[in-house]
Amino acid sequence: METWIEADCPITDEPAARLEKTFGDYEEYRCPTCKHFRISGSAVESIKKYNVEAKLELLVLAKRLADPKGELPFVMNVD
């Protein structure tokens, strides 16, 4: 069963829900602003130095790649 726990969104730093267990090197969130997305473990760390605008741009890019395939946006490390 999926368990969602309270967590801050790594993109917008607002209260969100994080999937407690994932089966890979990524985290999965549901955020009021960002909606449902995944982010790689390394990106969670590396985007901390970006401002919100830059982080949202990464999410928009991820959505643009995922939407045509009907997949969840997956924010990845861009360094």
CA distance 75 to 77: 7
9, 43, 62, 75: residue in contact with Zn ion (rule CB under 5 A): 9
Phi-psi domain of 36 (left: phi exceeds 0; alpha: psi -120 through 50; beta: other): beta
Check binding of 77 to Zn ion (CB under 5 A): no
Residue 11 touching Zn ion (CB under 5 A): yes
Q: How far is the CB of 78 from Zn ion (least distance, A)?
A: 18
Reported as type and span, the H/E element at residue 53 is: helix 52-66
Q: Is 12 in the site for Zn ion (CB under 5 A)?
A: yes
Binding-site ranges for Zn ion (CB under 5 A)? 9, 11-12, 31, 33-34
